[in-house]
Amino acid sequence: MRNRSGLLTFCFALIPGAGQMYLGMMRKGTAVMAAFWGLITFAGFFQLNALMVLSPVIWCYSFFDTLNSRWLSEEQRQALDSQFHFRMGNSLLDDFRSIIDRRHLLIGLALIVLGGWSILHNLLYSFSEWIPSYIWRLIDRAPSLFANLAIIGLGIWLVTGKKNRKEINADFVEYKGEDENNDHE
Average confidence (pLDDT) over 149-157: 79
Average confidence (pLDDT) over 19-32: 92
For residue 31, pLDDT beyond 60: yes
Answer with the residue of higher pLDDT: 89 or 20.
Answer: 20
User: Residue 13: what pLDDT?
Assistant: 95
Give tens-digit pLDDT for 43-75. 887 777 777 888 999 999 999 999 999 999 889
Neighbours of 63 (CB within 10 A): 18
Task: In whole angstroms, give the CA distance from residue 79 to residue 74.
Answer: 9
Task: In whole angstroms, give the CA distance from residue 8 to residue 4.
Answer: 8
Task: In whole angstroms, give the CA distance from residue 167 to residue 8.
Answer: 57
Neighbours of 22 (CB within 10 A): 21
